[in-house]
Amino acid sequence: MANLDLMRELSIPTPSKIAMLVIDGLGGLAGPDGLSELESARLPNLDQLAAEGICGVIQHVLPGITPGSGPGHLALFGYDPLTYDIGRGVLEALGIGFDLQPGDLAARGNFCSVDAQGRITDRRAGRIPTELNVELCKLLREIRLEGVEVFVEPVQDYRFALVLRGSGLSEGLTETDPQREGMEPLPVQARSPDAERAAALANQFVQQARAALRGQHPANMVLLRGFSTLPSLPSFSEVYRMRAAGIAIYPMYRGLAKLTGMTVHQGGKDIHEEMALAGRLWQDYDFFYVHFKRADSAGEDGNFDAKVQALEEVDAALPALRALRPDVLIVTGDHATPSVLKAHSWHPVPLALHTPWRYPDGVRAFSERDCREGDLGRFAATDVMPLAMAHAMKLVKFGA
Amino acid sequence: MANLDLMRELSIPTPSKIAMLVIDGLGGLAGPDGLSELESARLPNLDQLAAEGICGVIQHVLPGITPGSGPGHLALFGYDPLTYDIGRGVLEALGIGFDLQPGDLAARGNFCSVDAQGRITDRRAGRIPTELNVELCKLLREIRLEGVEVFVEPVQDYRFALVLRGSGLSEGLTETDPQREGMEPLPVQARSPDAERAAALANQFVQQARAALRGQHPANMVLLRGFSTLPSLPSFSEVYRMRAAGIAIYPMYRGLAKLTGMTVHQGGKDIHEEMALAGRLWQDYDFFYVHFKRADSAGEDGNFDAKVQALEEVDAALPALRALRPDVLIVTGDHATPSVLKAHSWHPVPLALHTPWRYPDGVRAFSERDCREGDLGRFAATDVMPLAMAHAMKLVKFGA
């Protein structure tokens, strides 16, 4: 039986509350002096949490697999990311706060450069600035397709989101990006008969986009990838029998929470405002997901010191969350983002879980190395919610 | 391939013997002075076993999932409890030593109170004493149903077991207990067409029970839950190619062993008698499951000191089992029962495995914290039997 089915069977509503603070990109690798970002930062509150709770390190997908933000978060919420797939198009739309509806077909778009023969000379159109992207998207919004609404939304640089809204749009489509230069964009093909109509519409969009962008070199063509519709996820609230709030500053993370059926709230301008918001909402929900972004951004930038600083910022905000006295408090991340890699990585991510029902595990600091020695050891991120539920006394026993 | 299939493929009969001592409810949490029951008890023999063997902690179902006695034991015997489900009705019948036959349909019954309109006013009939339960069961035994034998057996307080014996009785039935007061009992419904007959018989039983109990307020009605038939488990002896004995004082644990096809023996009045019985049976079997109950009972009562005492009692009995010189001796539990929780819990359970084929792991005491640091680390209870088989040299290698 899958985790979620078991949770659905065993969960009971109780007054206890669970808070999960997700530090995006938590977990790194040693910098110049041999210490990781977590080990270099001064983190009195996180260290105290680690000492008073139980610790471990989590793996979001499988050993060696680097999670994207979607799979990383789904796993934390208890959804096996290998079962529940979020397409790139959907994620791109969620990332800009587009209000995707069930049945919408979303794709990730790139502006690209093509030569007179239509062959791709730059898959990213010379990384045009976002301002130009905004103007070009206005041109693309003039495209009309029969029986569907067309949305074209700028994302950043050369990237945009395309959403087709109508009935019967299947996501079973191939991509137009040949993944290398010197070739023409590929036609969209249906992977199954029920996707024929969506394929035809996507190809009409590409054809009209080519016409609309003629003369706009370097951004004189588009590439479309990751055609996808909103996945149908079991409802978080129904599975765990909790009223759940998602608090995040960036749209993508609110979008991921919304996918699971959480009620989402714009977090304000920084982690302190997010914590204050959690406080104001405290009586209205049983589960709080709070997202902190800056650690990941700093890691992606390869800025070790900025990541250290971001960790110290979230540490300073932690007491406000603890002051709300959640019955179970979890602090962890959706994936590692080591500054030295300037990217997400596959390394297990530290986790601390605060609960009264624990064996003291001797961990005294919140870091990759310390948490690994904790009571929870190394475990799957999809087990975080079952453990949180157990410690919050929200599960009945399995079998008699 | 599932564990059991692999075991069936690789097991060979040998003269070596395996003994598994199951301390029910083993594993706890810190009491007032910061030590768990195991850490508070004086356990010279268990500590010696831990020091001479290899240790770990086991999880019976999944992280955060609290096992009932059924799933806990099945996992120890190598049966994935998520695959092999034992219904509540079956467990209730096993618990009173009822000789369930294949095809018998068992349910857990409650006497309850209903008002003049038939609405439930007390789901437990004011927790009537067992003596009254016995008398009321005599009334229910008068019920006649066409084509099936009816057995009604008192369990305790307001609980009884109902068993229908006949052919073609499917367990796919809904329960009559609406789980709250103010409602009438629900009719039994068939979950699939093949359960229609069983549903009709169950409803006839309820109808006749209502008539038989009229005037017996507070126990003037029944609720039926957990309709189930004996699960069909692969035979322990066939899978592992061992003659297996189950020794337990309480019927439920003999029942669980019997489900796997072990030959069961009533253990006598205490753990010392169980050990003596194992000695007398030593030549007749290759595998011995010995069950010790008192640690769980004390934990369920929330009696920390009684649980310490129970652990000391089983410790004192251990030398008798060691004196039989099993090639592999395992001491572990079917689930944790921390006294502070007064209930089963999800916490991993200590295990010590005595074998010559080990790396000394430095563990010196048999406790939750010490065993976690052992060679076996944290692992799934369904892996206990494969490890025991390996250490007893009863498995050939996998693949060429």
* Chain A residues in contact with B29 (beta carbon < 8 A): 357-359
**A-B interface: how many C-beta pairs under 8 angstroms?**
82
Which of A228, A257, A279 represents a domain boundary (last residue)? A228
The answer to whether residue B166 sits within a structural domain is yes
For B65-88, the pLDDT digits (tens) are 999 999 999 999 999 999 998 998
Helix residue ranges, H only, B290-383 = 294-300, 304-322, 368-372
* Residue that has been written with the tokens 């349910």 in this structure: B107
Residue A107 backbone class (left: φ over 0; alpha: ψ -120 to 50; beta: rest): beta
* B378 neighbourhood in chain A, CB within 8 Å: 377
Specify whether B327 is located in the same domain as B248: yes
Q: Which helix (H) or strand (E) holds A211?
A: helix A196-213
Q: ∠B181-B183-B188 over CA atoms, to 5°?
A: 115
- Is A396 domain-assigned? no
DSSP state of B100: -
Q: Are residues B319 and B259 in the same domain?
A: yes
Q: Do B29 and A359 touch (CB under 8 A)?
A: yes
In a mutagenesis test of the A interface, which of B29, B37, B40, B62 is the best target, namely the one with the most A β-carbons within 10 Å?
A: B62
Q: Quick one: pLDDT at residue B1? A: 58
The one-letter code for the residue type at A280 is R
Cα dihedral sign, B226-B229-B233-B236: positive
Query: What would the DSSP string read from start to end of A236-303?
Result: HHHHHT--EEEEESSHHHHHHHHHTT-EEEE--SSHHHHHHHHHHHGGG-SEEEEEE-HHHHHHHTT-
State the pLDDT confidence band at A354, using cuts at 50, 70 and 90: very high
Among B37, B15, B34, CA closest to B26:
B37
Looking at the fold, whether A125 and A219 belong to one and the same domain comes out as yes
Does residue A321 form part of some domain?
Answer: yes
When CB atoms are compared, the residue of B29, B34, B71 closest to A399 is B71
State the DSSP H helix or E strand holding residue B258, giving kind and residue range, or none if neither: helix B251-259
Q: What is the pLDDT of residue B180?
A: 87
User: What are A103-148's pLDDT values in tens digits?
Assistant: 999 999 999 999 999 999 999 999 999 999 999 999 999 999 999 9
Extract the tokens encoding B165.
Answer: 């014996």
The Cα B317–Cα B45 span in angstroms is 9
Beta pairing partners, B292: B23
Whether the Cβ atoms of residue A290 and residue A21 lie closer than 8 Å to each other = yes
Residue B33: HSE in the Cβ half-sphere, 13 Å Cα cutoff: 8
d(CA B177, CA B172): 16
Alpha carbon distance B250, B333 (integer Å): 16
pLDDT of residue B382: 97
Q: How far is Cα A148 from Cα A139, in angstroms, rounded to an integer?
A: 18
When pLDDT is averaged across residues A214-219 and rounded to a whole number, the result is 95
Main-chain dihedrals φ then ψ at residue B305, nearest 5 degrees: -65, -40
Domain assignment of residue B98, yes or no:
yes
pLDDT digits (tens, 9 = 90+) for B237-291: 999 999 999 999 998 999 999 999 999 999 999 999 999 999 999 999 999 999 9
pLDDT at B359: 86
Q: Which two tokens stand for residue B103?
A: 């095809």
Q: Assess whether B14 and B72 both reside in one domain.
A: yes
Residue A32 is predicted with a pLDDT of 86
pLDDT in tens, A317-342: 999 999 999 999 999 999 999 999 99
**Minimal CA separation from A376 to chain B, in Å:** 9
Does residue B369 share a domain with residue B266?
Answer: yes
Residue B400 lies in a domain: no
ipTM for the complex? Answer: 0.89
3-state helix/strand/coil string of A61-111: CCCCCCCCHHHHHHHHCCCCCCCCCCCHHHHHHHHCCCCCCCCCEEEEEEE
Question: Which residues constitute the domain of residue B152?
Answer: 90-229
- Whether B130 and B156 have beta carbons less than 8 Å apart is answered as yes
Query: Where does A301-367 have alpha helices with state H?
Result: 304-322
- Per-residue exposure over A125-156, b if at least 16 CB sit within 10 Å of its own CB, e if not: bbebeeebbeebbeebeebeeeebebbbbbbe
Looking at residue B23, its pLDDT comes to 98
Q: Which residues from chain A sit within 8 angstroms of residue B377, using beta carbons?
A: 377
pTM: 0.91
Confidence of residue A1 (pLDDT cuts 50, 70, 90): low
Return the number of other C-beta atoms located less than 10 Å from residue B380's C-beta. Answer: 15
Containing H/E element for B378?
A: strand B377-380
How do residues A290-318 score in pLDDT, each as one tens digit? 999 999 999 999 999 999 999 999 999 99
B398 within a domain of the structure (yes/no): no
- Mean pLDDT across chain A: 96
pLDDT of B6 strictly over 70: yes
Residue B236: both structure tokens together: 């322990």
* Close Cβ partners of A89 (under 8 Å, ≥ 6 residues apart): A105, A106, A107, A108, A161, A162, A163, A171, A225, A226, A227, A228
CA angle B119, B124, B130 (to 5 degrees): 135
Q: What is the DSSP string of B295-322?
A: HHHHHHTT-HHHHHHHHHHHHHHHHHHH
Residues A172 and A283 in one domain: no
Q: Is the predicted pLDDT of residue A281 greater than 90, yes or no?
A: yes
Q: What is the pLDDT of residue B5?
A: 95
- Indicate whether B351 and B250 sit together in one domain: yes
pLDDT, tens digit (0-9, with 9 covering 90-100), for A27-80:
999 998 999 999 999 999 999 999 999 999 999 999 999 999 999 999 999 999
Shortest Cα distance from B167 to chain A (angstroms)? 26
Position A361 confidence tier, pLDDT thresholds 50, 70, 90: confident
Contact call for B343 and A397, based on CB within 8 A = yes
A50 occurs within a structural domain? yes
Interhelix angle for A130-140 vs A196-213, to 10°? 120
Task: For residue A395, list chain B residues with Cβ-Cβ distance below 8 A.
Answer: 64-66, 346
- For residue B35, the chain A residue with the least C-alpha distance is A359
Is the pLDDT assigned to residue B225 strictly greater than 90?
A: yes
CATH number at residue B310: 3.40.720.10
**Which structure tokens are listed for B149?**
């034998």
Q: Angle at CA A261, nearest 5°, toward A258 and A266?
A: 35
Token code pair at residue A387: 């453990």
Domain termination residue (choose one: A228, A244, A279): A228
Rg (CA), chain B: 23
- Report the distance separating Cα B144 and Cα B21, nearest Å: 44
Backbone angles phi, psi at B76, to 5 degrees: -60, -35
Residues B368-389, mean pLDDT to the nearest whole number: 96
Identify the domain boundary among A210, A228, A246: A228
Using 50, 70 and 90 to split pLDDT, how confident is the model at A359? Answer: confident
Average pLDDT, chain B: 95
Structural tokens at position B60: 């019976």
Average pLDDT over residues B346-356: 97
Indicate whether A400 belongs to any domain: no
Tracing tokens 């018998």 back to the chain, one arrives at B104
Cβ–Cβ contacts within 10 Å for residue A283, how many? 7
Question: Which amino acid belongs to residue B175?
Answer: E
- Helices (H) then strands (E): counts for chain A: 14, 13
Q: Are residues A68 and A126 in the same domain?
A: no
Residue with tokens 């590409």: A206
* In a shared domain, residues B116 and B67: no
Q: Give the minimum alpha-carbon distance from A65 to chain B in angstroms, rounded to a whole number.
A: 22
Q: DSSP secondary-structure letter at B233?
A: P
| Same domain, residue pair B96 and B171 | yes
Query: Which residue of chain B is at minimal alpha-carbon distance from A382?
Result: B63
CB within 8 Å of B72: residues ≥ 6 apart: B60, B81, B333, B334, B335, B381
Instruction: State how many domains chain B has.
Output: 2
Q: How far apart are CA B126 and CA A53, in angstroms?
A: 41
**Statement to judge: residues A384 and A239 lie in one domain:** yes
CA atoms within 13 A on the CB side of A152: 24
Taking a C-beta distance cutoff of 8 angstroms, is the pair A173, A191 a contact? yes
Cα(B249)–Cα(B273) distance, rounded to whole angstroms? 10
DSSP-derived pairing of the beta strands B328-332 and B287-292? unpaired
Nearest-angstrom CA–CA distance, A125 and A217: 8
Instruction: At B88, give phi and psi (nearest 5°).
Output: -65, -35
Please tell me whether residues A300 and A362 are part of one structural domain.
yes
pLDDT at A2 over 90: no
**Nearest residue on chain B to A381, judged by CA atoms?**
B63
Q: Which positions in chain B touch A375 (Cβ < 8 Å)?
A: 372
CA proximity to B247, closest of B264, B272, B271? B264
List the single best residue of B65, B233, B335 to mutate versus A (max A Cβ within 10 A).
B65
